[in-house]
Amino acid sequence: MSESLPVGLLLALAGGILDSYTYLNRGQVFATAETGNLVLLGIHLAQGELGRVLSCLFPILAFALGVLTTEGLRRRLSSGRVHWRQPILAAECLVILVVSFLPQGDLDALANVLIAFTSAIQIESFRKFAGCGCATTMCTGNLRSVTEHLFRWLHHREGTAVRSALVYYGLILSFVAGAVLSGLLTPLFGTRTVLTACLPLLLSLALMFRLPDPT
């Protein structure tokens, strides 16, 4: 169940919400997509803006730490009675709750670090849906994969290529929907908008209790 398409779509929705949220509310940083932060880091270095360089560097380091943490948690929790991915989703919701109470401005860097850390855990924990290797906090790889499968269908008529392409299209559209939702809600709720990401995460957690997951 943790690798089912419904879970993937919900996680991609949360990823879009979080990435849009940090850009709109926390200093124009892409906390879930480190490629954007690396580009911004290079631009700020070229312009001599040291403070803004650090604001991009900290989420990058937090993302790397999140990947390391996930591998450690996988080893520790794999033998438990619940699937090791379930407590990870619960912890992500808890971190989002903390972020929602951080005041805007001086603590934006901390908010971005926390979201980058949890996003790394999410993307490292959930890497395949409906048999397709996917990402739920960024779209570059998904866009490459969907185009590749579309080519295979157009030129080789591979039967499974259409199904895989639809999976990737669904994830991309769900991610964009999350960004749109965050953009619409930000003028109304400000920094509390991040709490909307908890809804798809909690729904994913609930779905994972429906069937035993042997992976």
pLDDT digits (tens, 9 = 90+) for 69-127: 888 877 777 666 667 788 888 889 999 999 999 999 889 989 999 999 988 888 888 88
**Residue range 145-170: mean pLDDT, rounded:** 83
Q: In whole angstroms, what separates CA 12 from the centre of its chain?
A: 6
**If you ran DSSP here, which 8-state letter would residue 103 be given?**
P
21 pLDDT exceeds 50?
A: yes
Tell me the mean pLDDT in the region 23-35: 85
Q: What is the pLDDT of residue 73?
A: 78
Closest C-alpha among 7, 211, 6, 210 to residue 126 = 7
| Both structure tokens of 140 | 């570059």
Residue-level pLDDT at 97: 95
Closest CA to 53 of 61, 44, 62: 44
Query: Which amino acid is residue 117, in one-letter code?
Result: F
Q: Which residue's entry shows tokens 């429906």?
A: 210
- CA angle (174, 41, 124) in 5-degree steps: 40
Answer whether residue 214 shows pLDDT above 50: no
DSSP string, 135-160: -SS--HHHHHHHHHHHHHHHHH--HH
Written as six digits, the tokens of 14 are 């949360």
pTM: 0.86
Mean pLDDT of the chain: 87
